[in-house]
C-alpha cells in the first residue's frame, strides 16, 4: 500500500439543481481523500451524508443536466476523470473501476440470464465472446462462491437468493479486472451469516487481485473487519479521517464518537443502543458553523459561528474546534453529577 494514490480526490463538490430561483443544493462539499493499490478506505456516516452521491460522481453516473460536479483534482491512475469523454468513460466504468450497487435486484436485468449479463461485461471490457466468455463466466461464478455454476449460469435473477444475487454483482464487477472496486452498502438487507460470507469474499478477492476498495457503509462492524482507513462524512463534508484502529480506539470528532456508541455490541447484549438525536440536514439547508452543532451536546457558541477548519492529526485529521476527548470527559462528569 505504499506509493502514490491510485485514486486522488481533492475538493470534490456535487450540487443538484433545485426549483427555479433557488441556489443549487450541495450534496458533497469539498471532499478530499486518496486510495492506494491494495488499500481499503471506508466512507461512513448516516443516510443523507453524501456517501452514495460521492460513489456515483466517481463512476461518472450523475445526470449532467441537473447536477454539477467540480473538483480541484479527480484523478484515477493518472487520468483526469473530469475531462474524460463519454466513450472513454464507458471503457473505464465497469473495467478498471468496478462498482457493487446497494440493491442487486434493481441492478440486474430481470429478463436476461446472469450468464448473459456477465458475458456482456466480458465482451465489452475484455473482448471475450462465445465459448471463451462462457468459460470465464463460469470461473467468475466459482470465484465468488456460486454453487453449481454450470447450472446457475442460465438462471434469471429472480431465481436467486439475495446473497447469490449480490455475488453475481461482484462477479460482474470483477469481469473487467478492476483496479478499484467501489462497494456501496454491499451487505444491505442480507442476514448476518450471508453478510459475513460476502465480507470474507471481498477480503479474499482483494488479497488475490491487489485491487483498491472504496467501501461505503453505515455499518461500523463491517468497517472494523475490512478497512485500513476510515473517512467519516456528515452533511456532505469529511469531518474525520484516521487509520481504522486509531479511529475506533480514539475518535476525535463528537459525531464519530456518537456513531461508535450507537453500534451494536458483541455478546448479544440486550442494552438499548445509544441514539443520536435529530437528523442529518437536507442538502442546501445546513446551518451556519458546524453542521453537526444542532445535534451535538458538546457544542458551544464558537461551533455555531464559524465553519471548523481541518486540523491535521498525524496520519489523518478532524474538522472540529473542540478537543473531543477532553470535551467528552467533561460531559461524562456532568452526567455523573446529574445522576
pLDDT in tens, 279-305: 999 887 877 899 999 999 999 898 998
- What pLDDT, on the 0 to 100 scale, is given for residue 330? 42
**Residue 113 to residue 152: CA distance in whole angstroms:** 9
Q: What is the pLDDT of residue 264?
A: 74
- Of the residues 120, 152, 177, the one at which a domain ends: 177
Q: Per the domain annotation, does 31 fall within a domain?
A: yes
pLDDT digits (tens, 9 = 90+) for 202-236: 999 999 999 999 999 988 888 998 999 999 999 99
Q: How many CA atoms lie within 13 A of 200 on its CB side?
A: 8
Domain tally, the chain:
2
Indicate if 208 and 258 belong to the same structural domain. yes
User: Do 72 and 198 share a domain, yes or no?
Assistant: yes
Residues 161 and 192 in one domain: no
pLDDT of the residue at 331: 45
Report which of 324, 301, 298, 305 is spatially closest to residue 313, judged by C-alpha positions.
324
pLDDT in the model for residue 306: 87
Residue ending a domain, among 131, 152, 177, is: 177
The residues of the chain scoring below 70 in pLDDT are 1-3, 20-21, 265-273, 323-339
Look at residue 270 in the predicted model and tell me its pLDDT.
Answer: 57
Q: Return d(Cα 72, Cα 19) in angstroms, integer.
A: 27
Domain boundary among 177, 208, 224: 177
The pLDDT assigned to 114 comes to 97
Q: Which domain holds residue 150?
A: 107-177
Q: What is the model's pLDDT at position 323?
A: 64
Q: 229 is written with which cell numbers?
A: 482507513
The length of the chain is 339
Confidence at residue 195, expressed as pLDDT on a 0 to 100 scale: 85
Q: What is the CATH number of the domain that holds 220?
A: 3.40.50.300
Do 203 and 329 belong together in one domain?
A: yes
Q: Are residues 191 and 56 in the same domain?
A: yes
Question: For residue 266, what pLDDT is reported?
Answer: 61
**Phi then psi for 264, rounded to 5 degrees?**
-60, 145
What span, in angstroms and rounded, lies between the C-alpha atoms of 196 and 125?
30
Amino acid at each position: 500500500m505504499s506509493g502514490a494514490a491510485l485514486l486522488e480526490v481533492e475538493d470534490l463538490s456535487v450540487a443538484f439543481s433545485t426549483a427555479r430561483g433557488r441556489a443549487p443544493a450541495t450534496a458533497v462539499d469539498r471532499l478530499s481523500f486518496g486510495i492506494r493499490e491494495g488499500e481499503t478506505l471506508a466512507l461512513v456516516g448516516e443516510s443523507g451524508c453524501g456517501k452514495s452521491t460521492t460513489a456515483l460522481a466517481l463512476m461518472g453516473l450523475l445526470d449532467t443536466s441537473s447536477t454539477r460536479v467540480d473538483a480541484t483534482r479527480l484523478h484515477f491512475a493518472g487520468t483526469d476523470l473530469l475531462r474524460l469523454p463519454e466513450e472513454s468513460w464507458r471503457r473505464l466504468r465497469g473495467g478498471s473501476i468496478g462498482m457493487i450497487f446497494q440493491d442487486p435486484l434493481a441492478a440486474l436485468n430481470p429478463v436476461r440470464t446472469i450468464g448473459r449479463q456477465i458475458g456482456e461485461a466480458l465482451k465489452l471490457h475484455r473482448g471475450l465472446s462465445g465459448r471463451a466468455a462462457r468459460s470465464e463466466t463460469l470461473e467468475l461464478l466459482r470465484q465468488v462462491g456460486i454453487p453449481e455454476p454450470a447450472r446457475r449460469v442460465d438462471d434469471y435473477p429472480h431465481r436467486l437468493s439475495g446473497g447469490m444475487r449480490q455475488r453475481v454483482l461482484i462477479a460482474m464487477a470483477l469481469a473487467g479486472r478492476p483496479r478499484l472496486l467501489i462497494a456501496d452498502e454491499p451487505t444491505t438487507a442480507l442476514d448476518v451469516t450471508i453478510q459475513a460470507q460476502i465480507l470474507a469474499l471481498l477480503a479474499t478477492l482483494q488479497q488475490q487481485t491487489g485491487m483498491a476498495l472504496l467501501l461505503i457503509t453505515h455499518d461500523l462492524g463491517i468497517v472494523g473487519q475490512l478497512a485500513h482507513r476510515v473517512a467519516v462524512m456528515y452533511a456532505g463534508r469529511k469531518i474525520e479521517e484516521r487509520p481504522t484502529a486509531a479511529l475506533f480506539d480514539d475518535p476525535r470528532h463528537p459525531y464519530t464518537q456518537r456513531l461508535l456508541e450507537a453500534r451494536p455490541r458483541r455478546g448479544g447484549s440486550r442494552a438499548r443502543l445509544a441514539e443520536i438525536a435529530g437528523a442529518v440536514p437536507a442538502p442546501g439547508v445546513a446551518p451556519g458553523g458546524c453542521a453537526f452543532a444542532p445535534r451535538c451536546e458538546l457544542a458551544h457558541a464558537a461551533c455555531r459561528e464559524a465553519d471548523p477548519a481541518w486540523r491535521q492529526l498525524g496520519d489523518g485529521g478532524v474538522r472540529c474546534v473542540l478537543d473531543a476527548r477532553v470535551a467528552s470527559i467533561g460531559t461524562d462528569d456532568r452526567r455523573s453529577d446529574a445522576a
